[in-house]
Chains A and B, each alone.
Chain A
Amino acid sequence: MIRFDQVTKKFPDGTEALKNVSVSIRTGELTAIIGPSGCGKTTLMKMINRLEVPTKGDILIDEKSIKETDQVELRRSIGYVIQRIGLLPHMTIQKNAGLVPKLKGWSEEKTLNRVKELMTTVGLEPDIYLPRYPLELSGGQQQRIGVVRALAGDPNIVLMDEPFSALDPISREQLQKELRSLQKRIHKTIVFVTHDMDEALKIADNIIVMREGKIEQIGSPDDLIHAPANDFVRDFIGQERIDRQRTFAQRKLQELANFFSHEKTNEHIEEISSNDSIKTAITMLEKPTVNLLAIHHEDKFVGYIDQTSLLRAVIAKEEGGNYAD
């Protein structure tokens, strides 16, 4: 786990990129950090391999402060993919991809085997591409090598700084898919900075939404779509995208009768009609003062519903199960 403990970053020009941020990034999952430009998302990510140093606070990897590890050693143990790819133009693909293993002192044979294996995984035939130079490859191919380079040293953590945003839409989509399927096999802790909400919703296990150096919401893509924490998150996701993802939100509450409960689990209750939409229920539950809705059908109380049971209904819908009666 990567844990940020009350991290503040002030740049020499006085701008405060991060304001007392505390957040944990789970091991083996792909976490996307998203937000408008200047929100501090890149700064947050670059702190993990100490390309940026916090003004206050600390970052811990598996509860060990990163300050205790030598900065060069730390970086060699963390994969790094950047937007502008940054392959070394004077070195062959073989040398580029094997750079970190070489820095770590692996044997040439072990390095070559590892590089070949990874290249096959990302769909680049090693025998053809190993002797080539970066500029002989297309942008999409170059960034595939960028990913291979980041994974070659077998790091547990991989940082990706808008890795696909400079690519053409087709390559971007392909690489997103490949990353998703690669991650299913390798289960690395991936921190993925992006400004593209569709990308984040598509590939991430968790999304951290940031604004002006603060975290606005942390949650799964479903959490964000169905329960945006505030207006900013809702606007940032975009109402249209939300609607697209949850057409079923317009359905009436009575269709979820299976998920009603009769236990009064909370005191903060508001009343709602079973003819109201699921969306209305969600909006009401977003208020901090409301935790439970009492549903009435033609003036007759029929049951309670809360966020958890709504989510269960969502999951049931996603799984194609029968959520309605």
Chain B
Amino acid sequence: MLTNFIETVQSRSDLIQQAFVEHIYLSFVALAIGIAIALPLGILIARYRKYAEPVIGVTAIFQTIPSLALFGFLVPLMGIGSNTALIALIIYALLPILRNTYTGIISVDSSITEAGRGMGMTRSQILTQIEFPLALPFIMAGIRTATVLTVGIATLATFVGAGGLGDVIYRGLQSYNNSLVLAGALPVALLAISFDLLLKWVEKKATPKGMKNT
């Protein structure tokens, strides 16, 4: 079994490598765009709270669509290719980042922001010097959740022709080659675990000093 697996990896190394790179590309571009959308949006809805519920509600609805179905819906609209996969992945990355940014900012103790206001800090100073640093651990936790989610779901990108490690798994399934399935699944799992650990470390670093012991 093990020798079989090693042989498969060796003989298909080109395919696996290419799929690995595609997978990382898909996950990261989706995450970067997801952060670029959800972070400012989260800050915005924390300021205009009456919009918070509807905005988070919409992203939550997207989240409930099964991932395979979402890829399916998008094909008639967008055709096949990596853009379609990216859009689906971005949609999934939004909710955790958005919700954690929002929660992080609104859970900053109101006495602290009131003191800031009373001392004559401008709105943007309150955001950058008080709210954002204090919400950062929450935000990082959201990004971490989104990362693991995205790396996992990116496996389905193969169904819209966007490649990724899903390709390797799918080929393995079709040819009843368990070793090949494993050769695709194992890197996905390793990728998810290592990013999770990396971001956990970043999250810890992001916790402001002076708040760690509480």
* Measured CA separation A72–B116 after assembly (Å): 11
Interface string of A53-77 (1 = CB under 8 A from B): 0000000000000000000111111
CB of B117 to closest CB in A, whole Å: 7
Q: Is the CB of B118 within 8 A of A134?
A: no
- Smallest CB gap from B118: residue in A: A80
CA separation between A159 and B117, bound complex, in Å?
13
Residues of B within 8 A of A19 (CB): none
Any A CB within 8 A of the CB of B111: yes
User: Does A186 sit at the interface, judged by CB under 8 A?
Assistant: no
In chain A, positions 131-146 with a C-beta closer than 8 Å to chain B are 133-136
**A80/B119 contact (C-beta < 8 A), A86-B111, A88-B112 known:** yes
Query: A74, A77, A99, A100 — which one has the most chain B CB atoms within 10 A of its CB?
Result: A99
Provide the bound-state CA to CA distance between A73 and B121, in Å. Answer: 9
The answer to whether B112 touches A86 (Cβ under 8 A) is: yes
Q: Name B214's closest neighbour in chain A (CB-CB).
A: A135
Interface size class of A (residues with CB under 8 A): 20 to 34
Distance between Cα atoms of A159 and B109 in the complex (Å): 21
> How far apart are the CA atoms of A249 and B179 in the complex, in Å?
101
Assign chain B's interface to a size class: 20 to 34
Indicate which residue in B117, B119, B210 contacts A92 across the interface (CB closer than 8 Å). B210
Task: Tell which of A72, A73, A90 touches B208, judged by Cβ atoms closer than 8 Å.
Answer: A90
Enumerate chain B residues within 8 angstroms of A134, measured Cβ to Cβ. Answer: 210
B127-173 CB contacts (< 8 Å) to partner A: 129-130, 133-134
Question: Can you list 28 A-B pairs, Cβ within 8 angstroms, ordered by A?
Answer: A51-B118, A72-B120, A72-B122, A75-B117, A75-B118, A77-B120, A80-B118, A80-B119, A82-B111, A82-B115, A84-B109, A84-B111, A85-B111, A86-B115, A87-B112, A87-B115, A88-B115, A88-B129, A89-B134, A90-B208, A90-B210, A90-B211, A100-B119, A103-B119, A103-B120, A103-B125, A135-B210, A149-B119
Given contacts A85-B111, A89-B134, 8 further A-B contacts (CB under 8 A): A73-B120, A75-B119, A88-B112, A88-B116, A90-B133, A90-B209, A99-B119, A135-B211
